[in-house]
Chain A
């Protein structure tokens, strides 16, 4: 089915594992395409209520495979044809997406992690906006996401200096949500994914959608949009279950609809 990634679904969670461990999971065009396809597939699959993107082996993703780049490469078209569709697929997906950053996330690998909704990092993980080190600029939405996450000043520092950021430092900067010790890594990532998969999925999707609108609209226009969004949420089975469970003083059981 896929050559450059492993794709598995169980317990409402879809696992997308970048699988070029001998190349530190560097991107080749095929891997861009397969991630895009896998995310779209998971977005459509009604059983899936959470997506985890992680790397096989010791790296999360080392960015573009430079063996595929030469003097004839049009860097703009490389992005348009391969990275942009991947970033758009991730952004269009209305299910929670976790980047489980098991090791180094460099260049476009850092961008991939930034495009996700949550970033959990192993204590062995590190982040590096390596682009400038080969005379390029952060791509795949990197500056857009990064500046939202850390603000302009830190985004410039991280992008211009191109230095390695260890997991703990990334946590302090707010780039990631949590650092997890190596020996409980797998367990804690799974627990977090299961927790998200049991939540009211439709509401999570709406939160993602309306956060984007909130970033782009003036308040008055946003407030009208928000009313629409809450109307949609209010019509879901999970909203009814949530209120019912509250009245009955029990734990809600959400079905994601």
Chain B
């Protein structure tokens, strides 16, 4: 069903699922795999039958990081010309909500991929880490930026310098994990959450993501101006009319994403 080498995909009731599928390598990310993930995300983003994207990893780890063999002999010019991180930039402009389900090791590039999700649900016992420093390098796909914006400069420096393994409870207390569930229920609970989002009006969900993301980069004033344009925009949607009519008529709304 899936024409991809390193991932599996399927769409189930408005949920577009992407599963990293190199369990023997603990889902180590190679360049082809990232390309596949981005391609599928972009196609889901244009696919009317998909309202929510769910990203997960097969096996006991979400992803133990980048495929080191692939890059151990790289030189800077090759990396510049390859421009591999551009694929990651494409991830960050996906409009639909991305729910990540993580378990076991979430290391290096795997951690960066998890931080590219909008919502993270993690199994008990999940560990996060940026081990790049121990290989003489550093995160390159957004780790120093995304983590810092989430937990602040002081902790980000400590964690990325030390390669410390962050336990899932600590991750939750610092706000980059939404929920911790028992490992056996990771899939069930993540799907439940994804379905809950998929039942909401898709345009509102989309513009909420768009506006919240602006809060990260814009000044408060700019962000508020941006927010209200999105607020106004939603009043041109059928779902706004349906939502408010249903509220007045005391019935359940039916949203169509228009």
Contact = CB atoms under 8 A, between A and B. Distances in A.
Interface in A165-209: 209
A163 interface: no
B191 to A, nearest CB: 13
Interface residues of B, number: 7
A225 B181 CA distance: 8
Interface string A224-242: 0100110110010000000
A232 B186 CA distance: 11
A254 to B, nearest CB: 18
B184 A235 contact: yes
Contacts of A209: 124, 182
B82 interface: no
**A interface, how many residues as a size bin?**
under 10
Contacts, number: 14
Q: Mostly helix, strand, loop or mixed at chain A's interface?
A: helix
B185 interface: yes
Nearest to A206: B182
B162 to A, nearest CB: 15
A77 B120 CA distance: 35
Contacts of B124: 209
Contacts of A225: 182
Nearest to A235: B184
A194 B184 CA distance: 27
Interface in B175-194: 181-182, 184-185, 188-189
A66 B124 CA distance: 38
Given A228-B181, A228-B189, A232-B185, 10 more contacts: A209-B124, A209-B182, A225-B182, A228-B185, A229-B182, A231-B185, A231-B188, A232-B182, A232-B184, A235-B184
14 contacts: A209-B124, A209-B182, A225-B182, A228-B181, A228-B182, A228-B185, A228-B189, A229-B182, A231-B185, A231-B188, A232-B182, A232-B184, A232-B185, A235-B184
